[in-house]
Amino acid sequence: RSSRQGADSGDGSPSGAAAETPSSEDFSLSLLDTNLPAEAETELRSFIAKRLTKGALFEGMGNVASVGLSIPEYKVGCYYCRFQQENLLELAALESDINAPEYVVCFLGGSEKEDTFRLELDKYIQSLKINLALEQKNLESYVNPYLRSWFENAICPIQRVVQLFQEKLAFLLHAALSYTPVEVKNADERTEKDISRFLAAASLQGLVQEGTMTSLCIAMTEEQHKSVIIDCSGPQPQLHNAGSNRFCEDWMRAFVNGAEGGNPFLFQQILENFKLKAIQDINNLKRFIRQAEMNHYALFKCYMFLKNCGSGDILLKIVKVEHAEMPEARNVVTVLEEFMRE
């Protein structure tokens, strides 16, 4: 076998592996932890071994695949990720003759919808890497509980926020879309993290230009002088200095209606659709503004679009920041602002 000892760490239903190189067949798999029945664990181990042999696992990058297991007797979605301990990874890089053990974590769910949360699960594994020291004591006190709470901690935060805020979710969506700073008071640690995670997931970060986003954050902070305050001291959160619009209220209803089924994957899909529609509206408005630089009828189309889209207040701020250095477009935005005020 390989000259070093490898192991694997898993849960939710895991199984693991250590490999000299991802594509090498010269490795062994040792089980560290699982809550799968023995037969299913063997099948999962075989699946992971094949992936390792093919070199299909890259360090720190999760994959999602459908796996046939005898218990339960249908295919399940499996998220799996190969990694090394952060400190050992650095050591191995410095001294090439050191073979640091590698691990594979597997999380099993009811379907391949886990792909919806692949990035969240990658972050979850990253946190494990940083805090991992696989002595037996650490394994029992930190690693096992951390792995077993993957679904609750990585998949359910958005669902919990929807259930907590109900119709007040519109204010949260508005704050995320407009980059308004938010302060959370009197909340327990999990609720505060859930709200922060929801705001990050609902914002257009990564979907609009980074410079635009930075300028918008500065503009919103200067303009409002006040953050949105969320007070969680009562059974229902109270919001102060919060704004909303028709667009956010319509999407809030989609979330609240989806809450009856209690499916976290549905909420994630609604959130992605919410951001997609916001980006489409921004792109449409920018196209109309380009046309309006030379065409008065297109200027009227811009105005009607802003009036009817339900989020004219936010879209106008975004395009104002984006077009600040473009004189013709800036003039169009100034005219639109005057019309919207009237």
Note whether residue 153 is domain-resident. no
- pLDDT for position 326: 81
The whole-chain average pLDDT of the chain stands at: 81
Query: 13-27, 50-64, 136-150, 229-243: lowest mean pLDDT where?
Result: 13-27
Instruction: Say which amino acid occupies 321.
Output: V
The residue segments making up the domain with residue 103 are 38-137
119, 137, 155 — which closes off a domain? 137
Note whether residue 31 is domain-resident. no
130 and 170 assigned to the same domain: no
The Cα–Cα gap between 134 and 136 comes to 6
121 and 206 assigned to the same domain: no
Note whether residue 207 is domain-resident. yes
- pLDDT for position 3: 37
137, 155, 181 — which closes off a domain? 137
Per the structure, the count of domains in the chain is 2
74 and 127 assigned to the same domain: yes
Whether residue 171 is predicted with pLDDT greater than 60 in this model: the reply is: yes
The answer to whether residues 179 and 227 touch, using CB atoms and an 8 Å cutoff, is no
219 and 87 assigned to the same domain: no
The answer to whether residues 90 and 104 touch, using CB atoms and an 8 Å cutoff, is no
109 and 199 assigned to the same domain: no
- pLDDT for position 143: 83
Query: 18-22, 139-143, 231-235: lowest mean pLDDT where?
Result: 18-22
Task: Give every CB contact of residue 184 below 8 A, 6+ residues apart in sequence.
Answer: 191, 192, 195, 196, 230, 232
Whole-prediction pTM value?
A: 0.81
Query: 73-87, 244-258, 293-307: lowest mean pLDDT where?
Result: 73-87
Between 209 and 267, where is the model more confident? 267
- CA 28 to chain centroid, in Å, comes to 33
Question: The sheet that has 74-84: what strands, in order across it?
Answer: 63-69, 74-84, 102-109
207 and 264 assigned to the same domain: yes
Query: 89-98, 116-125, 277-286, 320-329: lowest mean pLDDT where?
Result: 89-98
198 and 132 assigned to the same domain: no
The answer to whether residues 103 and 83 touch, using CB atoms and an 8 Å cutoff, is yes
123 and 183 assigned to the same domain: no
69 and 217 assigned to the same domain: no
How confident is the model over 301-305, as a mean pLDDT? 92
194 and 312 assigned to the same domain: yes
Alpha carbon distances (Å) from 168 to 172, 244, 274: 7, 9, 16
Question: The sheet that has 238-240: what strands, in order across it?
Answer: 182-185, 228-231, 238-240
State pLDDT tens for residues 140-152. Answer: 778 888 889 999 9
